[in-house]
Amino acid sequence: MNTETATPKEQSDETYSIHPLSGAATVAARTLSAPLSAEINAALDASPKGEVAVRSLDLRIPLLEKNDILAERNRGYFLGRGLAALNLVSSPGAGKTTLLERTLDEFAPQTKCAVLVGDLETDNDGNRLRRPHAPVAQITTGTVCHLDASMIARAAQSIDLAGVKILFIENVGNLVCPASFDLGEQVRVVLLSTTEGEDKPLKYPPIFKSANLVLLTKVDVADALGFKREVAVENIKRIAPQARIIQLSARSGEGMADWYAFLRTLAGAR
């Protein structure tokens, strides 16, 4: 039973909300994105209704570029703090939270980690991840099918990042939408589970093309499912030759040492 007291849900004028569940920030962090965000939002408000989606703004910042600008600010902020941010993306249920639960138990006691986790509704994943030694905040997006850079900027300020070397961002379970949204991460990790079939890299290429690392998860049940690991690896290599591949199971522990070695290298490089 976690003895920490959850802080009240943060009020927001946005449609999403952020709930620091453990390791909440005790002092207000410096504002990360508000000034730029306000400037861009003012320009958006000033634009005639319906036009913003199809033409450049006066600032010559198309709509999606707003996210990219905020993502670059996040990246600089994370680098400046000496932490590595990983964006974990996958279809629903590929095993993101289970992997992070085990990682927080086995890896985070030596190397301080924090987690921002996104879901449309519920604090379930955030509560699964709550540990006394790891700050965790849940972002509930409402109807939005992905996290974006402004959500991450606000959520990162809601927890105490002092001493944190690795910041995990568990994205909303979705193999399509998160591909277009840079969060300011250093490493994009795409999870493909054995329960999904070997062909997913071929059918959903954008997300795999954007990966730095692909984790083939739930390998403990591969044989029972008739899942052909070598075919999946071949498909990943075809679509994402740039990505490193690690096969693992957060249940049996197979491959977890490779994952931790990857994280250790990342943390050591900060």
> What would the two tokens of residue 190 be?
């795409």
d(CA 116, CA 129): 10
**250 contact, one of Mg ion, ligand GTP, none, CB 5-8 Å limit per kind:** ligand GTP
Residue by residue, DSSP assigns 112-168 as -EEEEEEESS-SHHHHHH-BTTB-EEEEE-TT-SS--HHHHHHHHHHB--TT--EEE
Please report the beta strands in 210-262, taking only residues with DSSP state E, as ranges in sequence order: 213-217, 244-247
Contact between 217 and ligand GTP by CB under 6 A: the answer reads: yes
Question: What phi and psi, each to the nearest 5 degrees, are found at residue 244?
Answer: -80, 150
> How is residue 24 annotated by DSSP?
B
Q: Does residue number 96 form part of the binding site for ligand GTP (CB under 6 A)?
A: yes
Of residues 54-113, which lie at the interface with Mg ion (CB under 5 A)? 96-97
Per-residue CA distances from 44 to 3, 16, 55, 63, 165 (Å)? 44, 19, 11, 9, 36
244-263 footprint of ligand GTP as x/- string (CB under 6 A) = -----xxx------------
Stretch of residues binding ligand GTP (CB under 6 A), selected from 5-13, 15-23, 54-62, 93-101: 93-101
Binding to ligand GTP by CB under 6 A, coded x per residue (else -) over 116-135, reads: ---------x----------
Contact at 8 Å (CB) between 66 and 148?
no
Contacted by 92, from Mg ion, ligand GTP, none: CB < 5 to 8 Å by type: ligand GTP
Kindly tell me which of 97 and 194 has the beta carbon lying closer to Mg ion.
97
Which residue of the chain is nearest ligand GTP when measured via CB?
A: 173
* Single residue of 23, 40, 77, 95 touching ligand GTP by CB under 6 A: 95
d(CA 79, CA 76): 5
Q: Within positions 118 to 137, which residues make up the interface with Mg ion, using CB under 5 A?
A: 125
List the interface residues with ligand GTP, window 163-202 (CB under 6 A): 173
SS3 169: strand
Assess 98 for contact with ligand GTP (CB under 6 A).
Answer: yes
List of residues contacting ligand GTP (CB under 6 A): 90, 92-98, 125, 173, 217-218, 220-221, 249-251
